[in-house]
Chain A
Amino acid sequence: MEALLTTVFLGSLLFGAVTAGVPLLLAGLGEQISEKAGVLNIGLEGMMLFGAYFGFAVAYQSESVALGFLAGGAGGVAAAAVMALLCVRLGMNQIVVGIAITLGAEGLTALLHYFRFARSYPRLGRIESLPVPLLSELPIVGRALFDRTLLVYLAVLLPFLLILVFRRSQFGLNLQAAGDKPAALDAAGVSVLGTRVAAVLLTGFLAGLGGAYLSIVGGGLFLPFMTGGAGFIAIVLAMLARGKPLWVLFGAFLFGASLALTTAMQVAGVNVPTDVIQMLPFAMVILVLVLFARHAYLPPALAQPYHRGER
């Protein structure tokens, strides 16, 4: 047990928690925006997978990480556009379409990977990090928190930005209204559909970015089904965060830590079967749901398509 308390172990656990937490954070914040506006996005996992594949493919082809992240975001937006068209514009069942997007993304990215990369399994080189002067020299936290790529810093700042958007901007208030009382928003002369479409596309962008981080930085390669349920964990995070971005930040790194435990244990020389550790995040979600079930909150108009004049 002593091995668990060494700086090596803590350092690699914290490092892994951030690496695994950033995709959850980005996708979870995305889901939060979407849920605020009244759209339950079950296709989040699929949007992350699109982001992961296109992010990796473009980063590999262009040898530019920045282009890769952009392509990942665009991949997520493409999947989200399907959702916006079918669920918001045509008012279809959000759950059916969400499952279809996830299944389709799983199949399609696996096929794309099979035809393009399955023989060579290319890997990206190490990503240049952007160390913060002085802070990155600190023991344990230095390498984990202050010697990362730009996207990590931006992702951590995003919840604070979203607090401002949700509380202070017209767009944030419109989002809230679209989820709480869409008819009121409509009566105020703001397009409910437009607000919701914007929210869904933003969700797709953030989820795609999260997926791209997973493949470009997390693994350096794309593997079929590589998100492994991260999208669904992000949905739970958004559900439990009750519309508060900081809770998503907190939850994402908590779950990131439990995902990172396997590698950290191996680094510390403790051998626990991977499958046992893999159960941990999901077991934690269930535990959190059982313990804090009363605190989960979802907007009243969630998953309800809006038709003007209907009650």
Chain B
Amino acid sequence: MSDRALPASRSASRWGGVLVTLLRVLLPVLLALAAGGLILLSFGKDPFAYYGYVVERGLLSPTGLEASITRMAPLLLIAAGLIVAFRAGLWNLGVDGQFLLAAVCVAALAPPLAGLLPHALMLLVCFAAAALVGAAWSAIPAYLKARHGINEIISTLMMSFLGVSLANVLIKIVFNDPTTTVPQTETLAVADRLARLGDTTVHWGVLLGLAAVIGVHYLMSRTALGLKLQIVGSNPRTAIHAGIDLKRLTFVAFALSAGLAGLGGAVDLLGVQGTIRADWNPAYGIAVIPLIFLARFNGWAVIAFVFFFAVLMIGGESAARRLGVPSFYVLVQVALLMLFFAVVETFDHAWRKRRGA
């Protein structure tokens, strides 16, 4: 899918290599911000005011920074899931359905369990259930891919649409809390949610997210399973020759990826939301995808990009209320990021080839 860890040319100095890498990463970001600014300008909005406000509200103000870091928790878990899938060459584009279904199931499970089980055990059951629900929702695409070679892009997307609708059905019909007017699940008491870190509003789910991304990074680069998945990702035929059970690994990669997305749903519910209203779909997953590419599947870089995106989201939400730029703008920004990533990557490729030749 992309060139990873190309050995830097020996003649190039170490610092030159670092500079080029930095440029490859930052150039798409800068170009995307500039192009987005032009779009804002065409709508009669001052881009500098917008970006200034986003930075101020998402990064510089203490409450904003805490909100941004808190938002990282579900994003990081989704990102961890995507790293597994993408490195294994599988396009799991159904993370939003996996995330939302898991979140809804946890939302239904947590309030009654909170009265029955000790806190830690309740959380454990919820996490396990979320991972299972997420993984289960990827079983059909995994089967279609493994048995019939059906392109997983389409099947995961279809399952995602299906999952989002099913989540709504569950909220409105099965898990509806009769005491509220708007269809929503029973609210989890604040005392039963994930504990805060120190005096901040940040809950420990963020640490779980960080651990997941770093864990996945090492799983993929340092373990036998990770190596096998990478081989499957880069060349399935080689994998078969190497005696790797392609079908089994497809299922494993999908289950890991979707299970992590499901955990993201659990963390967002247990840490922040507490309840889910009908028609709530944050669609985090589809926005995290370009970040994984920008980071070139590297876990550490993913963390940095997720933080950047969380700031953009939280700041963007404030700006929507204050400056009248609706939060749809973040979608445009993500799309531009992806396009410029592809453009820079292509030109970089051509340039390397010419130098190598």
User: B interface, by DSSP: helix, strand, loop or mixed?
Assistant: helix
Pair B335/A103 contact, Cβ less than 8 Å: yes
Bound CA–CA A232/B93 (angstroms): 12
For B158, the chain A residues whose CB sits under 8 A away are 232-233, 236, 282, 285-286, 289
Interface residues on chain A, number (Cβ under 8 Å):
45
A106 to B2, CA, bound (A): 26
Min CB distance A277 to B, Å, is 9
Contacts of A93 in B (CB 8 A): 1-2, 342
Contact A104 B342 (CB under 8 A): no
Partner of A282 from B161, B173, B293, B330 at Cβ < 8 Å: B161
Digitize A281-296: 1 where CB-to-B-CB distance is under 8 Å, 0 elsewhere. Answer: 0110110011001101
B144 lies within 8 A of A86 (CB)? no
Known: A86-B343, A100-B335, A111-B328. A293 touches B150 (CB 8 A): yes
State which residues 332-352 of B face A: CB under 8 Å: 332-336, 338-339, 341-343, 345-346
A279 and B153 form a contact (CB under 8 A): no
Minimum distance in angstroms from B20 CB to a CB of chain A: 20
* Chain A residues near B189 (CB-CB < 8 A): none
- Taking the complex as formed, is B43 at the interface, i.e. its CB lies under 8 A from any CB of chain A? yes
A82 to B330, CA, bound (A): 20
* A-B interface contact total, Cβ < 8 Å: 131
Q: Is the CB of B154 within 8 A of A239?
A: yes
Contact B168 A106 (CB under 8 A): no
Q: Which residues of A contact B39 (CB under 8 A)?
A: 108, 111
Which residues of B in the span 129-159 have a Cβ within 8 Å of any Cβ on A?
140, 143-144, 147-148, 150-151, 153-155, 157-159
Task: Return the contact of B328 from the options A95, A107, A239, A283 (Cβ within 8 A).
Answer: A107
**Of residues A229, A275, A290, which shows the largest number of chain B Cβ atoms within 10 Å of its Cβ?**
A275
Is A6 an interface residue when CB atoms closer than 8 A count as contact? no
**A106, B339: Cβ atoms under 8 Å?**
no
Q: In the complex, what residues of B have CB within 8 A of residue A224's CB?
A: 328
Q: Of B162, B172, B286, B332, which contacts A111 at CB under 8 A?
A: B332
**A47 to B: closest C-beta gap in Å:** 13
- On whether A289 and B155 interact (CB within 8 A), knowing A273-B169, A278-B165, A296-B150, the answer reads yes
Measured CA separation A100–B178 after assembly (Å) = 41
- Which residues in B have some Cβ–Cβ distance to A below 8 Å? 1-2, 39, 43-44, 91, 93, 140, 143-144, 147-148, 150-151, 153-155, 157-159, 161-162, 165-166, 168-169, 172-173, 286-287, 289-290, 293, 326, 328-336, 338-339, 341-343, 345-346
A-B contact pairs, 26 of them (CB 8 A): A42-B153, A92-B345, A97-B338, A99-B286, A99-B289, A100-B336, A100-B342, A101-B335, A103-B338, A104-B331, A104-B332, A104-B336, A105-B335, A107-B328, A107-B331, A107-B333, A108-B39, A232-B161, A236-B154, A282-B159, A282-B161, A286-B162, A289-B144, A290-B140, A294-B148, A296-B150
A: which residues have CB within 8 A of B? Answer: 42, 82, 86, 90-93, 95-97, 99-101, 103-108, 110-111, 114-115, 224, 229, 232-233, 235-236, 239, 273, 275-276, 278-279, 282-283, 285-286, 289-290, 293-294, 296, 298
